[in-house]
Structure 1
Amino acid sequence: MNSVALDQPVAATDPAWRRTLLALSGIWAALLAIFHRDAADMADIWWNSTTYGHCLFVAPIIGWLVWQRRRELAQLTPQAWWPGLAIVAGGGALWLVGEAAAVALFRHVGLVAMLQGAVVALLGARVARGIAFPLAYMVFLVPFGDFLEPWLQAATVSLTMPLLHLLGVPAAVDGVLITIPNGYFEVAEACSGSKFVIAMVAYGTLVANVCYVAWRRRIAFMALALVVPVLANGVRAAGTIYAAHLTSVEAATGFDHIVYGWVFFA
């Protein structure tokens, strides 16, 4: 196969790829139509939830990752692999559990697993290995991570109080309520830093795979991607309360949402 052909989309260079990708498109369309309620539910969360807005970028990222592998994929021949149907069946079973238990997360994971399983079953084990990371990255299409909020609230309080005492702010804490002489602050779910952490895990996973080869470096980078947002949120909370101590609660909270939320995450 010449270099010109390798620069073209795989589907345009091989009849076997064209047939298989058409079949895969049809199966994906059928799955999305059958489970349209869950697909629409996920899309609604991506669009309307500030916690999961990053999910809107996951599908384009997956497309880019596959495109980056087009030369290697063009050298493979897609071949149906029946064991891949076990992934589809597992996703279907998980969806049924979610439906019976009224747990949306299980239904969403089940739908994504069925889409992944269809890829493995139709394209085969060799092609699936070639796109293993993009295929696995589809898990970030599922909006998940809210369960971290209580732990992150506690972590934020634990980081904030020593910083306030270091800055000379007379602060007291009761659970997630921090009191200073001119007001009090609640480290609510929205202030727990979960948005930072959830988005950073998704993008950190991408960067770790794209930018590093050694697993030791990938693990180290992911550890930083988890730790840095938590520390930054503690500093953000302490800075907000310190600003309130020097000025007023109203001025500090307005400054917090405009500046700290953007600058610290960036």
Structure 2
Amino acid sequence: MVGNNKILNSAALISLLVICVVNSSVLVTIFDEWNSDGPYSHGFLGIIVVCYVFYLQRKKLHIKSLSITEYLFGFCCLAISFCVALIAQLSSIQQLQQLALFSSLLSLMFCFYGWGFIKAYFTPLLLLFLIMPVWSLMQLPLRELSTAAGQWGPELIGIVVGRDQYRLSTAGGMFDVEPACSGLGFFLVAALLAFCVGYFNKLSTKRTLTFLAICLAISIVANWLRIIIIIVVGTFTEMQHFIVQDHLTFGWIVFAVCLIPLIYIARVYFDDSQKANNTQESIDSEQVSTTTGVSKTQSIATFALLALFVTAFYWIPSRFNENYAFTVPSLSNYEMAGESKGYSPNWKPYSQGASKERFFYYVKEDVGFQVYLADYVKQEQASEMIFVENYLYDDQFWHDVEDKKLPLLDNQYLQQVNLAIVQRSQARYRMIASWYVINGVFTSDKKRAKLAEVQAALVGEPGATLIAVALDYDGQNSALAEKKLSEFIHSYLNP
């Protein structure tokens, strides 16, 4: 047995540092979210609180030798976390990478300390999870509630509000309820506050959850008030008031005001610290650490798994064909009017991190088609084929009319492609069809493409290409335009 407490702690610390170094790019994405004006801007303040609570709990860890069953559970969790982290890295899914990092760190500590680590540090671990930027799924319901409140709130005082999805319009202007306006930041800060109060005021689990419900309710109402006030003031001032221009700062001011009753409620109705202090001394005496450590076999197995993960993390992405480029088919039914140009005079798509971008021009019976190819030798975070900042048209000049699927008949590669219909003027429309090619896999589905990226990276062929075809028309006969576009794509896929 490894009987020295310092050796055990040193081994755990070294393992933590190795995981953090390997996932340094993931840590950078977390820090970027904390440094932004988004819903996770409280992250740096939150991590200070987390570290402080970890420090306060440092003597609560009751270390003992791990049973085989307990260790195997932690080992399996660590192996699964490493696999998820590797898949997330190969597919460049940021939030999955962040979740896998948290899970890997937690599972690693479990392999060294077992359930005692979870019990001793449950509160700081929960607080750490709350400041992780992985809660974007909450934005959709919160955004929906906020938009509804922004509509009926002003109507209570006689302001007529029209709604088009997440856009609200009044006589004084238009208001877009963006995802950043969902109130997710208020929601997470309120949850963080509730668990901090529960910890420092020695609340029971039931009373902590009760206070959590109160905090979350007030955070939602605070965001509703912010949106309602902005719409009302913006309507009467024709969008000129400073709270309309700097609505983020105004929102935090409203939330800070709403914290005042929360602080009062916590002090008066949710403070059991005095009662808990009477029994704290006896509790502390029962929680003296008696370290016996983990076995050498368990330690070696943990380090072996960590070494395997580090090797795979660097070796798998290192294999790629630096000369990869999609092979352009030769079309017999269409005349190529322009070949392999690096730009287009009237089409400005954007693919961040693409190794090469090419434009081709085809003509048949006075109907012109533009083909855009964005080749990726390999993909990594923020330099990937499917990325939130990529676009197929500039929305400053083109207005989105419709997004749908364009079916393809009698095609062995694809049954349908993505189709965006955009408009620039009354008589100028454009259809843009797009799909993805990853190591011979053709798909228009983003999830299927991400899976294909992982499979391609595992076999050492991560090259991928975004293919987009644009057809301009006057907007009079969309069915005919779709038919011509479908015929061209069929010929392009089956030359």
Q: How does the TM-score come out when normalised to structure 1?
A: 0.81
Amino acid at match of 1:111: L
1:231 maps to what in 2? 221
Secondary structure of the residue aligned to 2:203 is: coil
After superposition, the C-alpha distances for 1:143-162 in whole angstroms (9 at most, x for unaligned) are 12222223222211222222
1:224-263 to structure 2, matched below 5 A, reads 224-251=214-241, 252-254=243-245, 256-263=247-254
Secondary structure of the residue aligned to 1:249 is: coil
2:308 maps to what in 1? none
Secondary structure of the residue aligned to 1:168 is: coil
2:71 maps to what in 1? 82
Q: Is the 8 A contact 1:17 1:78 kept in 2?
A: no
Q: Matches of 2:54 and 2:191 in 1, distance apart?
A: 20
Secondary structure of the residue aligned to 1:18 is: helix
Cα gap change, 1:144/1:199 in structure 2, threshold over 3 Å: closer, same or farther?
farther
**Deviates further, 251-260 or 19-28:** 251-260
1:36 maps to what in 2? 24
Secondary structure of the residue aligned to 2:168 is: strand
Q: Matches of 2:29 and 2:246 in 1, distance apart?
A: 33
Q: Matches of 2:215 and 2:63 in 1, distance apart?
A: 37
After superposition, the C-alpha distances for 1:35-94 in whole angstroms (9 at most, x for unaligned) are 222222222322235321222234332322232223434xx3454562322332221122
Question: 10, 30, 50: which is aligned to 1:62?
Answer: 50
* 1:257 CA displacement: 4.0
Cα gap change, 1:186/1:40 in structure 2, threshold over 3 Å: closer, same or farther?
closer
Q: Matches of 1:141 and 1:152 in 2, distance apart?
A: 18
* 1:30 CA displacement: 1.0
Q: Matches of 1:48 and 1:157 in 2, distance apart?
A: 23
Cα gap change, 1:220/1:22 in structure 2, threshold over 3 Å: closer, same or farther?
same
Q: Matches of 1:89 and 1:21 in 2, distance apart?
A: 21
* 1:119 CA displacement: 1.5
**Deviates further, 96-105 or 240-249:** 96-105
**Deviates further, 256-265 or 98-107:** 256-265
After superposition, the C-alpha distances for 1:172-213 in whole angstroms (9 at most, x for unaligned) are 222222222122211122222222223333333333344353
| 1:142 counterpart = 2:132 | yes
* 1:227 CA displacement: 2.1
**Deviates further, 63-72 or 186-195:** 63-72
Cα gap change, 1:235/1:141 in structure 2, threshold over 3 Å: closer, same or farther?
closer
After superposition, the C-alpha distances for 1:4-26 in whole angstroms (9 at most, x for unaligned) are xxxxxxxxxxx933222221111
Cα gap change, 1:140/1:152 in structure 2, threshold over 3 Å: closer, same or farther?
closer
1:155-174 to structure 2, matched below 5 A, reads 155-174=145-164
Q: Is the 8 A contact 1:171 1:179 kept in 2?
A: yes
After superposition, the C-alpha distances for 1:94-135 in whole angstroms (9 at most, x for unaligned) are 213323443211111111111112222212333442223323
2:9 maps to what in 1? 21
* 1:164 CA displacement: 0.9
User: Max radius of gyration: which structure?
Assistant: 2
* 1:28 CA displacement: 0.8
The runs of 5 or more residues in structure 2 that have no matched partner are 260-495
Q: Is the 8 A contact 1:87 1:116 kept in 2?
A: no
1:4 maps to what in 2? none
Secondary structure of the residue aligned to 1:253 is: helix
The runs of 5 or more residues in structure 1 that have no matched partner are 1-14
| 1:205 counterpart = 2:195 | yes
Higher fraction of helix: 1
Cα gap change, 1:257/1:47 in structure 2, threshold over 3 Å: closer, same or farther?
closer
1:102 maps to what in 2? 92
Q: Is the 8 A contact 1:90 1:110 kept in 2?
A: no
Q: Matches of 2:211 and 2:77 in 1, distance apart?
A: 30
Amino acid at match of 2:92: A
Q: Matches of 2:5 and 2:157 in 1, distance apart?
A: 63
Secondary structure of the residue aligned to 1:231 is: helix
Q: Is the 8 A contact 2:160 2:170 kept in 1?
A: yes
Amino acid at match of 1:82: Y
Cα gap change, 1:150/1:134 in structure 2, threshold over 3 Å: closer, same or farther?
closer
Q: Matches of 2:114 and 2:221 in 1, distance apart?
A: 43
Cα gap change, 1:261/1:46 in structure 2, threshold over 3 Å: closer, same or farther?
closer
Q: How does the TM-score come out when normalised to structure 2?
A: 0.46
| 1:50 counterpart = 2:38 | yes
Higher fraction of strand: 2
1:178 maps to what in 2? 168
Cα gap change, 1:254/1:222 in structure 2, threshold over 3 Å: closer, same or farther?
same
Q: Matches of 2:122 and 2:248 in 1, distance apart?
A: 39
2:445 maps to what in 1? none
Cα gap change, 1:211/1:86 in structure 2, threshold over 3 Å: closer, same or farther?
farther
Q: Matches of 1:22 and 1:120 in 2, distance apart?
A: 15
